[in-house]
Amino acid sequence: MPDTSPLAACLGEGLVSFVPATAAPLEDARTFHRSLAGAEWNTAIALASAGIRAAVVSRVGDDGFGRFLTSELRRHDVDDSAVEIDADAPTGLYVKELSPRPDGSIDGTMHYYRAGSAASRMSPATLAAPPASALLAEAALVHTTGITPALSPSARATQDAVFDRPRDGRLLSFDLNWRPALWRGREDEGRHVIADLARRADILFCTRPDAEAVFGTSEPEQLRALFPEPRYLLATSPDGAVAFDGAERTESRSLDVPVVESIGAGDAFAAGFLAGVLTGLSLTGSLARAHRIATRVLVSTRDHVD
């Protein structure tokens, strides 16, 4: 990756994903394929594929799964120097359950095994460590999601610290990524936390179903009225996206490709849009780039581009 490319730093948990070789109930699945997962890590890989220097700030366990994840980052030309190794906590993982749909596509249901993971032990000290501090000082953009503050109080404090840092021209990107299971029993708190982060971001991504669940509306114009603070706001659905740059508004339809499974496509979409913004594309051009990169995830059961 050229050193002249802008640097994007992605903060969040990396996970090992186990995907069955066939679409069937888990009790009938015998063979699984291992893959990297985690929203922010997926976005970092897609950014690198788009020619943007990308780095991840996170923690993994001192185990084979953690070593697999960091090696996968390096294989995709993503900087892993700010991924800390935790000797006492494991790397998180999930198992994806695949179910065939009548139209030939596949529904994916995720079963998480991440409680007490190394990434849940991220703290503001993670950001203060020399590798992360140097990356954040250089980054033209920092990307985070609504998953991180749900992991633990220390992970939430880490994300708050990112939002509290002086911007100095740096863009802060936030993808809503509502995960009800992570906020179970404290849903109202989660909605408040996510709304606050959304208002403080420069770039806000949300799917329309997530926006309805968290903000009570999925209408793009109403979302823009609720969140005038971010310069860019994008509301997405399987059919397409509506994007705002200040008062400018544009919309586009998704590209017509055979959809195998959609998990991870939103992370690739975000990466494509961010790559467009970082390289000076127009709102329409950035949106087109987002759709192109998202299609590379839609045609497989992996969560990231390869």
User: How many separate domains does the chain show?
Assistant: 1
Planar angle of CA 252, 292, 224, nearest 5 degrees: 40
- Which residue ranges of the chain lie beneath pLDDT 70? 1-3, 255-264, 296-306
Q: Six-digit token pair at 95?
A: 């198992």
Tell me whether residue 1 is in a domain.
no
pLDDT of 42: 93
The domain that holds 192 is classified in CATH as 3.40.1190.20
Contacts of 74 (CB under 8 A, 6+ apart): 80
Planar angle of CA 117, 265, 285, nearest 5 degrees: 130
Tell me whether residue 103 is in a domain.
no
Model confidence, pTM: 0.90
Domain housing 189: 7-13+38-89+117-298
Tell me whether residue 170 is in a domain.
yes
pLDDT of 2: 54
Cα 207 from chain centroid (whole Å): 12
Tell me whether residue 19 is in a domain.
no
Tell me the pLDDT tens digit for each residue of 94-115.
998 988 888 777 787 888 999 9
Tell me whether residue 253 is in a domain.
yes
pLDDT of 298: 45
Q: Six-digit token pair at 255?
A: 């590209």
pLDDT of 173: 98
Catalytic positions are: 267
Tell me whether residue 105 is in a domain.
no
Tell me whether residue 134 is in a domain.
yes
Q: Six-digit token pair at 42?
A: 């997926």
Tell me whether residue 28 is in a domain.
no
Q: Six-digit token pair at 102?
A: 């009548």
